Amino acid sequence: MPDFTPRIEQPTAADGARLHLLGQWTAAQFAQPKLLKSLRARLAATSAQQGWDLSGADQLDHVGAQLLWDHWGRQWPRQLELQPAQRAVLERVASFTVDPPPRRKTTWRGRYLAMGEAVLYAGDHLKSFVRLIGQLALNIGRLARAPHEGPWRDLSGHLYRIGATALPITALVGFLIGVVLAYLTSQQLRQFGADAFIVNILGIALIRELGPMLAAILIAGRSGSAITAQIGVMRVTDELDAMRVMGISHSFRLVMPRAMALAVAMPLISVWTTLAALAGGMLAADISLGITPTFFMNALPQAVSPGNLGLASGKSVVFGILIALIGCHFGLRVKPNTQSLGEGTTASVVTSITVVILVDALFAVLFKDVGI
Query: What tens digit of pLDDT does each residue of 343-357 get?
Result: 999 999 999 999 999
Q: What is the pLDDT of residue 114?
A: 87
| Same domain, residue pair 356 and 211 | yes
The string of DSSP letters for 4-45 reads ---EEEPPPTTTTTEEEEEEEESHHHHTSHHHHHHHHHHHHT
Pairing of strands 57-60, 18-25: parallel
Residues 6+ apart with CB under 8 A from 223: 161, 162, 166, 262, 323, 327
Residues 82 and 192 in one domain: no
Dump strand ranges (E) for the chain.
Answer: 7-9, 18-25, 51-53, 57-60, 80-81
> How far is the C-alpha of 311 from the C-alpha of 317, rounded, in Å?
10
3-state secondary structure of 268: helix
Task: Give the other-Cβ count within 10 Å of 209's Cβ.
Answer: 17
For the chain, list residues with pLDDT below 70: 1-3, 11-17, 48-49, 370-372
Instruction: For residue 18, list its beta bridge partners.
Output: 51
Contacts of 355 (CB under 8 A, 6+ apart): 322, 326
Q: What is the pLDDT of residue 186?
A: 85
What range does the domain containing 291 cover? 120-366
Question: Distance between CA 62 and CA 69 in Å, rounded?
Answer: 10
> In this structure, are 162 and 52 located in the same domain?
no
Specify whether 147 is located in the same domain as 58: no
Q: Are residues 174 and 260 in the same domain?
A: yes
Cα–Cα dist 314/274, whole Å: 14
> Which pLDDT value is given to residue 289?
83
Q: Is residue 41 part of a domain?
A: yes
Q: Which stretch of DSSP H or E encloses residue 202? A: helix 198-203
Q: 250 and 130 share a domain?
A: yes
Q: How far apart are CA 274 and CA 73, in angstroms?
A: 67
pLDDT tens column, 312-341: 999 999 999 999 999 999 999 998 888 888
- pTM (whole model) above 0.75: no
Distance CA 97, CA 74 (A): 8
> What is the structure's pLDDT at 337?
86
For residue 306, tell me if it sits in a domain.
yes
351 and 287 part of one domain: yes
C-beta of residue 319 within 8 angstroms of C-beta of residue 216: yes
**d(Cα 349, Cα 354) in Å, to the nearest integer?**
9
- Regarding whether 173 and 47 lie in a shared domain, the answer is no
- The reported pLDDT for the residue numbered 135 is 92
Q: Is 115 inside any structural domain? A: no
Residues 147 and 254 in one domain: yes
Contact present, 269 and 163 (Cβ < 8 Å): yes
Pair (87, 128) in one structural domain:
no
DSSP 2: -
| Residues counted in the chain | 372
Identify whether residues 186 and 293 lie together within a single domain: yes
Residue 22 maps to a domain: yes
Q: Is residue 285 part of a domain?
A: yes
Tell whether 105 is covered by a domain.
no
- Would you state the pLDDT for residue 261? 94
At 212-226, the pLDDT tens digits run 999 999 999 999 999
26 lies in the same domain as 162: no
Contact 259, 324 (CB under 8 A): yes
Domain tally, the chain: 2
Tell which of 63, 96, 129 closes a domain. 96
Residue 108, domain member (yes or no)? no
Residue 218 lies in a domain: yes
Using a pLDDT cut of 90, give the percent of the chain over it. 39
Task: Provide φ and ψ at 104, rounded to 5°.
Answer: -75, 135
- Do the beta carbons of residue 21 and residue 8 sit within 8 Å? yes
